[in-house]
Structure 1
């Protein structure tokens, strides 16, 4: 394998016509340059330079190798320049994972902040369910992903490097004319006689409801299974029942409902930023994590 530094020495000798001049330019001694050139000739198996009255001139092989050396060195310089731009966040790409409730509430604030500071970095956001986000993290499809967990189903720190961003409380959605609509905070104990609207397909908020009701000694009476939180809000607005939701899920509130605090009577979920432990993190990923942390400190949805 040819040594790049020796190729550079050859090119400088060919361009300057002198071992002494090339050595001075590259801050080597002439004897060191001569020694490295002899090793290069041994590597290629033929002479590369010949002494002439006007200095050193390349052989045919020397001409060919010097031309290739010029191309290689130019490409290496371009690579170093590109890497410097990426390191300085003057260019680059970031693939980010998120899930719908955070993607429609908190994440746009962080993205806006990041794009103002690093406009040349291309952001590609992938929104999916948590199991898909985990797969994308493990496969390297995304470098950073937002995830969530509850106290009874913590994501192990041995699986991913986790940064806790904020707590997302569970809130109560009631109709605008519900008996509790004027209250700012209620307890799950106040809701034993209510009908409930819940998410379908084994959604995690179902377990939140079941655990919260069980802690107060009752079983929730289900009146409707909603496909998403917008549908749940719509059904609440017409009096079909009440519903639980993470606060991030109701930032875009239906006009016919009220959002009430449940205090400590319903568990909050933890919003996390995750990346693989073994991943060599690109500068854009490091910068975006800092932006997420800063944005989380300022995040206070109504």
Structure 2
């Protein structure tokens, strides 16, 4: 039995008339009747009854067969559509901007697999600071962006799609011999008189920390800003300064010289994949599938 056989039966079921179904299928009544009889012989059951010459009757077995035939045809259409989309993925370049966190979140492995499975698609990855990345997204110079939701909040919700791909906790990072290192948790009040070094404006962390201090009613004593985490770690080493990093971003730079502590009220942040509405290509869709595979369910907003 073939897909064409299933289509023929569905057409007959819907018209309830051999002549009308044959016209729709561009075949003779005789050929359609022979095909239906062949299916009945293969299934060893009657699908239709033609005792009443004026009115074709679908048997109970025919009703069951129709339900399964419809399901199979729907799945077959989805299969052919997906294969067609794969064939239509032409050679080109996918332009992606990301804050510099992809290795820490396991995204490079997924990108490498994507490149292996789609050798005709080249990746142009630019690791950018948050402000630059937002500007490039807004001017549609990028196909996709990967950044934190403290940054994506600045984008127009009606013009972009946002997909959560990971979650991380913002931590206080301090030298192991810091006087606050003995505490399990740290409040903003604990940091009132502590010198702070932090990632530069546009990082998302700078803005989040500023807001926390503002809500507490005082201004952070920011002594140093930089775009590089390793530089931050060097500045706080063997000092009474602190910095703030997301846990997964900090992990590659941690040693026994440093510790991380949660805020009294833990602060969580989402890493998001963002793209302008109405611009996503087939290559972009495929890439999103790779990035979100085995992650939490996709949530669009």
TM-score, scaled to structure 2:
0.59
Q: 1 CA distance for matches of 2:137 and 2:193? A: 43
Once the two structures are TM-superposed, the CA of residue 233 in structure 1 deviates from its matched residue by 1.2
Counterpart of 2:287? 288
Q: 1 CA distance for matches of 2:144 and 2:152? A: 24
Cα gap change, 1:123 to 1:228, in 2 (>3 Å): same
Counterpart of 1:214? 214
Is this contact kept in 2: 1:97–1:128, CA < 8 A? yes
Is this contact kept in 2: 1:230–1:254, CA < 8 A? no
Is this contact kept in 1: 2:197–2:236, CA < 8 A? yes
Q: 2 CA distance for matches of 1:183 and 1:114? A: 44
Counterpart of 1:259? 260
**SS, match of residue 265 in structure 2:** coil
1:105 aligns with 2:122: no
Q: 2 CA distance for matches of 1:152 and 1:142? A: 14
What stretches of structure 1 of length at least 5 have no aligned partner? 1-26, 28-82
Is this contact kept in 1: 2:151–2:204, CA < 8 A? no
The structure with the larger Rg is: 1
Alignment deviations for residues 67-87 of structure 1 (CA, whole Å, 9 cap, x no partner): xxxxxxxxxxxxxxxx96854
RMSD: 3.4
Cα gap change, 1:177 to 1:168, in 2 (>3 Å): same
What stretches of structure 2 of length at least 5 have no aligned partner? 1-25, 27-82
Q: 2 CA distance for matches of 1:210 and 1:134? A: 20
Once the two structures are TM-superposed, the CA of residue 286 in structure 1 deviates from its matched residue by 0.6
Once the two structures are TM-superposed, the CA of residue 242 in structure 1 deviates from its matched residue by 0.5
**SS, match of residue 156 in structure 1:** coil
**SS, match of residue 198 in structure 1:** strand
Once the two structures are TM-superposed, the CA of residue 103 in structure 1 deviates from its matched residue by 3.2
Once the two structures are TM-superposed, the CA of residue 173 in structure 1 deviates from its matched residue by 0.6
Counterpart of 1:53? none
- Equivalent positions of 1:35-46 (< 5 A) are none
Q: 2 CA distance for matches of 1:207 and 1:198? A: 10
Counterpart of 2:67? none
How many residues are matched? 214
